[in-house]
Amino acid sequence: MTSIVILISGRGSNMEAIVRAAQKEAWPAKISAVISNRPDAGGLDFARSHNIPAESLDHRQFESRQAFDAALIKLIDTYQPDLVVLAGFMRILTADFVQHYEGRLLNIHPSLLPLFPGLATHEQALEAGVQEHGATVHFVTEALDHGPIVLQASVPVVSGDTPDTLAQRVLKQEHIIYPRAVRWFIDNRISIDQNRVLVSPPESQLLVSQDK
């Protein structure tokens, strides 16, 4: 049984999508814990109401990024995870943290990476005037918002879009691709060759949504 720990910072809708998919499809996996760096993260209530251990570790209580990440590793490892899923976890991670979970650390980023790393991706997309935008599930490496791409979803950008309308359109796809990518991982369908993620048996690693 694959043990999964999910890290969040806020409402946790991606975490919720993963938990729901795991239940609905009876994954051979256990969501062992949901951990937030913000004690008031809304997603913690959802986890608790689904009988998933929900913990918070407040980064403001630590004097350095190193100290927080070391404590976070300790807490996560009490759940012996095979996979750590970053789902709206709004922290820059230390190299030590990333190395500790190398090959078993996934993130979702709301853009078609390598376009628009960092924050305010929807604003960035509108400013750039791109015709399509989207989201990316990728393995985490030391470079922020980089790392081997597992699965992407694209959506159209339409006239009149605001960062909010675009965010909503992208989020709907996030809720599709993140559970799918995690499922591939637990089913051992993923391998990494250089910087490229291979899925076997092959399945499209790009979903193209026409939803407006």
User: Before 114, cis peptide (omega within 30)?
Assistant: yes
Minimum distance between the CB of residue 171 and ligand GRF, rounded to whole angstroms? 6
Minimum distance between the CB of residue 180 and ligand GRF, rounded to whole angstroms? 15
Question: Considering 109, 133, 138, 175, which one is annotated as catalytic?
Answer: 109
- Cβ distance to ligand GRF smaller for residue 77 or 127: 127
Gyration radius of the chain's alpha carbons: 17
Per-residue b/e over 150-172, b at no fewer than 16 CB within 10 Å?
Answer: bbbbbbbbeeebeeeebbebbbe
Q: Tell me the C-alpha distance between 87 and 72, whole Å.
A: 15
Residue 109 annotated as catalytic: yes
- Cβ distance to ligand GRF smaller for residue 11 or 196: 11
Minimum distance between the CB of residue 88 and ligand GRF, rounded to whole angstroms? 3
Residue nearest to ligand GRF (CB): 88
Q: Tell me the C-alpha distance between 44 and 15, whole Å.
A: 10
Helix (H) or strand (E) holding 124: helix 121-128
Binding positions for ligand GRF, rule: CB under 6 A: 8, 10-14, 87-88, 108-110, 171, 174
- Cβ distance to ligand GRF smaller for residue 87 or 157: 87
Among all residues, which ones are annotated catalytic? 109
